[in-house]
């Protein structure tokens, strides 16, 4: 079976690493003279390495977040905590939308999904920020290491 490979240049991680590489080019004169192909190869190598670390972070984050959610948020003793009250309030505000009538037309259904998404954005940010911050820090370190390797000729 043929394995489909996703185009890495369209991913948010590639765009972030490309942005960071352009910032590094302003600091280093050797990088300014690099061709577009060399910069692309540096970015792709850094994205591949960062993705492997990202999977590791995700596998470590999922049990930690589950412990946080079920151990702290769902614990009745923490009901007086302001953060827990806010978190549960946001989730409970979406329940009538999910269980209610979504409308008869596709536009009404799309609007309901969009409204649910907008109400849950703060929860997504609070829940996902601890996962994305280590990934971005790792991307910066991997990029610097890949730049050093390419300057020494190891990459090509």
| pTM of the predicted model over 0.75 | no
Is residue 48 situated within a structural domain? yes
Domains identified in the chain, total number: 1
In a domain, 1, yes or no: no
pLDDT, one tens digit per residue, over 101-110 is 887 888 888 8
Task: Give a yes or no: residue 128 inside a domain.
Answer: yes
Tell which wins on pLDDT, 59 or 68: 59
pLDDT in tens, 31-46: 777 788 888 888 889 9
Tokens 């790792």 sit on residue: 138
Does some domain include residue 2?
A: no
Query: Does residue 73 fall inside a structural domain?
Result: yes
Secondary structure of residue 74 in the 3-state scheme: coil
Q: Which domain holds residue 16?
A: 9-152
């Amino acid at each position: 079976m043929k394995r489909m490979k996703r185009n890495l240049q369209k991913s948010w991680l590639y765009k972030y690493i490309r942005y960071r590489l352009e910032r590094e080019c302003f600091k280093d004169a050797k990088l300014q003279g690099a061709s577009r192909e060399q910069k692309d190869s540096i970015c792709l190598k850094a994205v591949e390495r960062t993705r492997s670390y990202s999977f590791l972070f995700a596998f470590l984050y999922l049990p930690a977040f589950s412990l946080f959610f079920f151990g702290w948020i769902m614990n009745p003793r923490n009901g007086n905590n302001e953060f827990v009250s806010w978190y549960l309030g946001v989730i409970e505000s979406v329940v009538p939308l999910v269980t209610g009538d979504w409308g008869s037309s596709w536009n009404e259904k799309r609007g309901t999904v969009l409204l649910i998404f907008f109400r849950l954005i703060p929860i997504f940010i609070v829940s996902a920020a601890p996962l994305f911050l280590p990934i971005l820090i790792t991307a910066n370190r991997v990029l610097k290491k890949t730049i050093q390797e390419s300057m020494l000729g190891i990459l090509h």
